[in-house]
């Protein structure tokens, strides 16, 4: 009974945030014809308004984000072409990151450095997991296999840790950048503003929720290696 409760709690911790983020973004994704433009058009407008030099807006299939290397705000089709509250609010959030970049916001710059490190570490972890069975077979060294396992697990956990550490950067993009933009520009109504708070919270939590869900892959690897 206790084990079942622990498993349920772990699943809630892993999948709860991702489910909530997805549910919030979907809830406010219905088209609203009173908006004068799409999320993509709002992003272009804000880039011009705040004079963000060389920043572009593109449609993507790989999740809404701002790419500081290419100086590009990338929005999925439903946000880029959509006239929903989610599309408008998420576009403002991603432009918020572009504003952080141009203004040299130090936490944003720090995040870029450690995210690059985390991506490399996660790849190393994945390769280490794949290599463990072969090392165990050919080296016949339990110590070496254990060392590789610790390296793999540690590397894969780094990504989750990084997203927790850099959550303040997402929070700043939502509530210190995007929210004032939406309020001052009166791009949405007062009634819609309270819903925008939920969307901005979800936008800030996107990477953390995805990172938590990715821990399930780590559990699968461990289960496979125990066979």
Per-residue confidence band for 181, with pLDDT thresholds at 50, 70 and 90:
very high
What pLDDT shows up at residue 47?
A: 97
Catalytically annotated residue among 94, 122, 170, 192:
94
Q: Which two tokens stand for residue 40?
A: 């993509």
Q: What is the domain range of residue 178?
A: 2-226
- The pTM of the full predicted model, rounded to 2 decimals, is 0.80
- 94 is an active site residue: yes
Per-residue confidence band for 52, with pLDDT thresholds at 50, 70 and 90:
very high
The answer on pLDDT for 9 being more than 60 is yes
Looking at per-residue confidence, does 146 or 94 come out higher?
A: 94
The answer on pLDDT for 220 being more than 60 is no
What is the number of domains present in the chain? 1
pLDDT digits (tens, 9 = 90+) for 142-156: 666 667 677 777 777
Task: Collect all residues with Cβ–Cβ distance below 8 Å to 55 and sequence separation of at least 6.
Answer: 47, 71, 72, 73, 98, 102
What pLDDT shows up at residue 111?
A: 84
In which order are the strands placed within the sheet that holds 65-67? 56-60, 72-76, 65-67
Residue found by looking up tokens 């590789």 in the block: 148
Torsion angle of C-alpha atoms 10, 214, 162, 204, degrees rounded to 10: -80
The answer on pLDDT for 165 being more than 90 is no
């Amino acid at each position: 009974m206790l084990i079942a409760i622990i498993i349920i709690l772990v699943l809630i911790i892993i999948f709860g945030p991702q489910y909530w983020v997805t549910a919030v973004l979907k809830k406010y994704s219905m088209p609203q014809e009173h908006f004068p433009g799409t999320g993509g058009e709002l992003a272009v407008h804000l880039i011009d308004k705040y004079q963000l030099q060389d920043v572009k807006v593109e449609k993507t299939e790989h999740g809404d984000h701002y790419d500081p290397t290419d100086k590009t705000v990338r929005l999925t089709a439903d946000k880029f072409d959509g006239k929903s509250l989610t599309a408008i609010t998420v576009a403002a959030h991603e432009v918020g990151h572009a504003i952080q970049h141009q203004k040299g916001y130090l936490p944003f710059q720090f995040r870029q450095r450690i995210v690059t490190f985390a991506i490399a570490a996660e790849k190393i972890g994945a390769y280490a997991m794949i290599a463990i069975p072969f090392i165990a077979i050919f080296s016949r060294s339990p110590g070496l296999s254990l060392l590789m396992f610790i390296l793999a697990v540690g590397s894969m956990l780094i990504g989750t840790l990084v997203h927790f550490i850099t959550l303040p950067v997402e929070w700043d993009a939502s509530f210190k950048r995007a929210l004032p933009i939406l309020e001052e520009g009166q791009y949405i109504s007062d009634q819609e503003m309270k819903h925008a708070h939920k969307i901005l919270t979800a936008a800030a939590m996107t990477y953390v929720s995805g990172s938590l869900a990715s821990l399930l892959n780590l559990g699968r690897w461990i289960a496979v290696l125990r066979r």
